[in-house]
Amino acid sequence: MDTSDRPGRLAVGVLGAGRVGSVLGAALALAGHRVVAASGVSDASHRRAMERLSVELTRPDDVITRSDLVLLTVPDDVLPGLVAGLAATGADLRGKLLVHASGAYGLDVLGPATDLGALPLALHPVMTFTGRDDDLVRLNGCSFGVTAPAMLRPVAEALVIEMGGEPVWIADQDRALYHAAIAGAANHMVTLIAESQELLGRIGVEHPGRLLGPLLGAALDNVLRLGIAGLTGPVVRGDAGTVRKHVDALILAAPEAADAYVALARLTADRALAAGLLKPEAAERLLDALGGNIWT
């Protein structure tokens, strides 16, 4: 379906044609907007700009000049410097939608540009991007953490919906906690599973992923449906002896993993106790097994 004749179509520029910027730009193009310029420094950025956005890389100031909407899709630590640099160069930002995709930052990071007349939006896709071709498909139905001034909220939500996402409003002051929650869940899950696969591989399990897949799929389904009530395993059962065996085995095989296990077991016990799933006397036995105070 041709979407280019819809009202309100925008000229889109991408500052940072990396994994995220190239996908968001491509999604906006599918909605009928026109990607007119992009910037980047790596060979991968050049390839993505050509393959996904159908534009050549150019200077950041040229991207700004040619665009109505500018995606600032650079790493979080680079974002404040980029915005400050754009403001310092005197780029004409008046009336331009300036959109960053950082989860941790809200609107304050766009302050120097907002002072010059830019229209600030924070649209963070709650999705992992690997640089593969299926990244664009994964945007369909994924949530976006949206923060914008009240008058721009309809614009922000419309852009998310056009990209195939679902807008979820996040108050500006809550952005850091919002990002800690989702990054902690997704990133640490990857680390934990990779660690488990490595430990299983050490003892001769040929296909750790095949072994873990059904268990992890069931555990994820349980927690998403039931919350902490979906918890199973030795901690919620109060099996202190089993937990101690785990800790002892990990101390010998992977001391750094033992530290993580103890910290997570303590957090699990604390949540189970608060939910009434773990009895106080069982928690005391776990306290001894874990070597610390659960109630801190």
Q: How far apart are CA 281 and CA 145, in angstroms?
A: 41
> What are the percentages of helix, strand and coil residues in the chain, rounded to 5?
55, 10, 30
Domain boundaries, the chain: 11-170, 178-290
- What letters, b where the CB count within 10 A reaches 16 and e where it falls short, cover 29-44? bebbbbbbbbbbeeee
According to the model, what pLDDT value does residue 6 have?
57
* 37 φ, ψ (degrees, to nearest 5): -165, 155
CATH code reported for the domain at 11-170: 3.40.50.720
Please compute, for residue 4, the number of CA atoms within 13 A of its CA located in the half-sphere on the CB side: 5
State the pTM of this model.
Answer: 0.88
> Please, is 147 exposed, middle or buried when counting C-beta atoms within 10 Å of its C-beta (0-12, 13-18, 19+)?
buried
Q: pLDDT digits over 209-241, tens only? A: 999 999 999 999 999 999 999 999 999 999 999
* Chain mean position to CA 207: 28
Condensed to tens digits (0 to 9), the pLDDT of residues 202-216 reads: 999 999 999 999 999
